[in-house]
Structure 1
Amino acid sequence: MSRFFPHPTYAEDQPLSKTILTTHVLTRAVQAGSLAGTGVGLSLLTLRRFNILSSRVPPVPAYLTILRSTGVGAVIAFGILSVGLPIRMWGREEIEWKDRSWRLRANKGQTECDDYTYGGMAVAAAAVAWKGKGLGWKGAVGGIGAGSLLGMLGYMGWRYGVKGGKFEEDDIP
């Protein structure tokens, strides 16, 4: 989980457990929905390219089609998991929330992935704010969702491509 949340020595001492778990789940919802939405957008472009899908709506640039479908996917997944998390955790003891949150914070790979993800989202949000005129809410959310995906891909390239999946602490004898 993000480095901004505290990480005590023991799980039963974990503060902000519900906030940590909710932030994690909703961040992953945006990523998963963005990935699915990007696939839908690319499929729409392919269907239009081969005249399988005809539209009475004037064609829009390809990047706008992809950004809009990415944004819709992110919002749908965010909505589903906003309802799904409370349903999943209904009736759970406080220690279960604390344990799950503590484990997220204890996972070095998860923390590093979050750093890249939130960095990608921040850069994308800045780009949307700077040059995002005419994108609408779907395109703006899609840009931020695409930023989260690019951040995650950057993390995967760094950790598994450059570093071979190992952390520096793992090499110490």
Structure 2
Amino acid sequence: MSRFFPHAAYAEDQPLAKTILTTHVLTRAFQASSLGGAGVGLSLLTLRRLNVLSPRISPLPAYLMILRSTGTGAVLALGILSVGLPIRMSGREAIEWQDRSWRLRGNKGQTELDDWTYAGMAAAAAAVASKVKGLGWRGAVGGIGAGSVVGILSYMGWRYGVKGGKFEEDDTP
């Protein structure tokens, strides 16, 4: 997201502030709720395997059950935050939108996280594209949500595992 939006020298000059902040909030909502939905799916699967839930309640294969709950969580959070963000930011001055967006655009870690997130989502979208009929819309959205979570985990492994949490400019005295 953020590499494709301009970054002004000063916050008060930041163009597309509402678009940048909205994109950021909805992306993070999608990711967080995908992770939560996957947790719900895994919990249901565990309860089913422990015979607490009858297998007849959810006869779906395990992967589809997890993907569907991931997709449901993602769509619910997108809906809630699509309404919640405008409510939270209502009555705010333009400079408040611009400042938040400007800080997001100026954050190297956030920019890199966005790159990994969208790469994970794109790879997952390509993977589920041929299986949409078998997955249904909830499974397809869940697959993309799972891809965003894989993107986050990959970013964390790269930035904090391989790179030690430092950016190249931080190494210079």
Report the TM-score when normalising by structure 1.
Answer: 0.97
Shift of residue 133, structure 1, vs aligned partner: 3.0
Return the alpha-carbon distance in structure 1 between the equivalents of residues 117 and 104 of structure 2. Answer: 15
Aligned to 2:41: 41
Return the alpha-carbon distance in structure 2 between the equivalents of residues 138 and 97 of structure 1. Answer: 32
Q: How does 1:89-104 map onto structure 2 within 5 Å?
A: 89-104=89-104
Return the alpha-carbon distance in structure 2 between the equivalents of residues 13 and 66 of structure 1. Answer: 44
Aligned to 1:115: 115
Return the alpha-carbon distance in structure 1 between the equivalents of residues 127 and 162 of structure 2. Answer: 27
Aligned to 2:29: 29
Q: How does 1:141-156 map onto structure 2 within 5 Å?
A: 141-156=141-156
Question: Which deviates more, 56-65 or 161-170?
Answer: 56-65
Aligned to 1:18: 18
Q: Runs of 4 or more off by more than 4 Å in structure 1? A: none
Query: CA offsets, 1:35-75, max 9 Å, x none?
Result: 11000000000000010011534621110000000000000
User: Residue 3 of structure 1: SS of its match in structure 2?
Assistant: helix
Shift of residue 128, structure 1, vs aligned partner: 1.1
Report the TM-score when normalising by structure 2.
Answer: 0.97
Shift of residue 131, structure 1, vs aligned partner: 3.2
Q: Does 2:65 correspond to 1:69?
A: no
User: Residue 133 of structure 1: SS of its match in structure 2?
Assistant: helix
Unaligned ranges ≥5, structure 1 = none
The one-letter code sitting in structure 1 at the alignment partner of 2:48 is R
Identity of aligned residues (%): 81
